[in-house]
């Protein structure tokens, strides 16, 4: 049996032909991403939704695959540039009775997160501003169409790893799961569906509220290049301005200017003495308890504080990434985790 499983020997190669080269790419919390290069030279990307969470029930996979197609159509109708879906296959494992949804699309380039972090593009403010502008132009298509108030008709996850740039410089949006559109009048939000009011409220704010989408965009860009946080704030607010009325934009700028993490930013330069450190610690607690645009921001306020510390050189890049991983939020976080995250921020100020 062992000999049968070995790689074909050179004299046997004529009996075999390559089907494809498959490489793993960074995926999200729900999906595995596979880059597939065919012998013809064609490049495709297969997203295996559900693979990181033990999969779906078969009926659930059927429903979600239909919702993915419906969400794609909703985004396209608003002008969002999306790679075409070349196929959706439900892979069912008879042993586990669980399924994975495999969605295949053409390769549309590296994601923005990779490009600004690992190539010279992130070192040029003019180019960086142009990339942020392209992202915002896509987000305006979603944020400008409201259901009521600031609530958008469809939702979107605006993290920069969900946008790619191809060889011609065109930007694409590539994240279709979970699909975020109104099904029978109710917004689809997450998978699994949040069970707590806090989880649902924050999910709606971050993905279905023009202000929450703005904050998410700034935070996710800053997560990649924390030293550019102030730059990203201004460029994102300017880029998304067409989605807001002048009064809405002015109100949003005013609210953000009063956010506790902005106060922390101002205080970080004065933490060399005991009084300054005490004020900064109080600002961290204020971030934890922050209410932003009427929404209890919870752990996302702590993330904003971590970004400010990283921008000020108080948090290393690995420490920041670990903080974001440990603060990943879907439904609720134990108080012990919140306390630990708060302690990390305090320690960065007090040292």
> What does each of the 351 residues of the chain score in pLDDT, given as a tens digit?
444 445 555 555 667 777 888 888 777 778 899 999 988 888 999 999 999 899 999 999 999 999 999 999 999 999 999 999 999 999 999 999 999 999 999 999 999 999 999 999 999 999 999 999 999 999 999 999 999 999 999 999 999 999 999 999 999 999 999 999 999 999 999 998 898 999 999 999 999 999 999 999 999 999 999 999 999 999 999 999 999 999 999 999 999 999 999 999 999 976 567 778 899 999 999 999 999 999 999 999 999 999 999 999 999 999 999 999 999 988 889 999 999 999 999 999 987
How far is 342 from 302, CA to CA, in rounded Å?
7
| Dihedral angle computed from the Cα positions of residues 58, 54, 159 and 250, in that order, rounded to the nearest 10 degrees | 70
Antiparallel, parallel or unpaired: β 146-148 and 110-111: unpaired
Specify burial of residue 79 (Cβ count, 10 A radius: 0-12, 13-18, 19+). exposed
What stretch of H or E contains 314? Answer: none
> What local confidence, expressed as pLDDT, does residue 267 receive?
93
Pick from 191, 231, 185, 236: nearest CA to 213: 236
Strand partners, 94: none
> What local confidence, expressed as pLDDT, does residue 331 receive?
80
| Dihedral angle computed from the Cα positions of residues 228, 230, 234 and 235, in that order, rounded to the nearest 10 degrees | 10
Total-model pTM: 0.93
> What local confidence, expressed as pLDDT, does residue 209 receive?
99
> What local confidence, expressed as pLDDT, does residue 1 receive?
40
How far is 281 from 291, CA to CA, in rounded Å?
18
What single string gives the DSSP state of each residue in 14-66?
A: GG-----EEEEE---SSEEEEEEE-TTS-EEEEEEETGGGT-B-HHHHHHHHH
How far is 272 from 279, CA to CA, in rounded Å?
11
Pick from 239, 44, 52: nearest CA to 138: 239
Domains of the chain and CATH, by start? 14-106 (3.30.200), 259-351 (no CATH)
What stretch of H or E contains 163? Answer: strand 163-165
How far is 167 from 71, CA to CA, in rounded Å?
26
> What local confidence, expressed as pLDDT, does residue 205 receive?
98
> What local confidence, expressed as pLDDT, does residue 2 receive?
44
Strand partners, 46: 34, 104
How far is 122 from 228, CA to CA, in rounded Å?
10
Q: Is the peptide bond before 192 cis (omega within 30 degrees of 0)?
A: yes
> What local confidence, expressed as pLDDT, does residue 272 receive?
66
> What local confidence, expressed as pLDDT, does residue 14 receive?
64
> What local confidence, expressed as pLDDT, does residue 25 receive?
73
- Count CB atoms within 10 A of the CB of residue 60: 16
> What local confidence, expressed as pLDDT, does residue 12 receive?
55
How far is 37 from 114, CA to CA, in rounded Å?
20
């Amino acid at each position: 049996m062992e000999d049968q499983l070995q790689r074909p020997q050179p004299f046997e190669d004529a009996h075999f032909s390559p089907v494809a080269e498959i490489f793993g790419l960074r995926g999200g919390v729900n999906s595995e991403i596979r880059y597939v290069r065919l012998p013809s030279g064609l490049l495709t990307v297969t997203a295996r939704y559900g693979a990181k969470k033990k999969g779906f029930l078969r009926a659930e996979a059927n429903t979600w695959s239909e919702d993915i197609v419906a969400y794609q159509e909703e985004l396209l109708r608003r002008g969002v540039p999306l790679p075409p879906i070349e196929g959706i296959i439900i892979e069912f494992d008879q042993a586990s009775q669980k399924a994975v949804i495999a969605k295949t699309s053409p390769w549309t380039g590296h994601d923005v997160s990779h490009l600004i972090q690992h190539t010279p593009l992130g070192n040029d403010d003019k180019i960086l501003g142009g990339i942020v502008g392209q992202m915002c132009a896509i987000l305006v298509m979603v944020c400008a169409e409201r259901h009521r108030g600031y609530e958008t008709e469809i939702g979107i996850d605006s993290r920069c790893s969900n946008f790619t740039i191809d060889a011609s410089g065109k930007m694409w949006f590539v994240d279709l799961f979970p699909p975020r559109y109104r099904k029978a009048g109710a917004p689809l939000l997450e998978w699994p569906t949040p069970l707590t009011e806090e989880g649902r409220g924050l999910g709606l704010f971050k993905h279905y509220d023009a202000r929450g989408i703005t904050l998410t965009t700034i935070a996710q860009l800053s997560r990649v290049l924390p030293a550019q946080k102030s730059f990203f704030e201004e460029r994102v607010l300017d880029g998304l301005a067409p989605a807001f009325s002048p009064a809405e934009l002015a109100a949003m700028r005013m609210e953000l200017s009063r956010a506790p993490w902005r106060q922390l930013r101002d205080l970080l330069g004065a933490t060399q003495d005991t009084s300054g450190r005490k004020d900064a610690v109080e600002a961290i607690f204020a971030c934890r308890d922050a209410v932003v645009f009427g929404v209890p921001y919870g752990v996302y306020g702590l993330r904003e504080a971590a970004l400010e510390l990283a921008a000020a050189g108080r948090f290393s890049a690995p420490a920041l990434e670990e903080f974001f991983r440990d603060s990943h939020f879907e439904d609720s976080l134990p108080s012990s985790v919140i306390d630990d995250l708060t302690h990390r921020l305090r320690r960065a100020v007090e040292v």
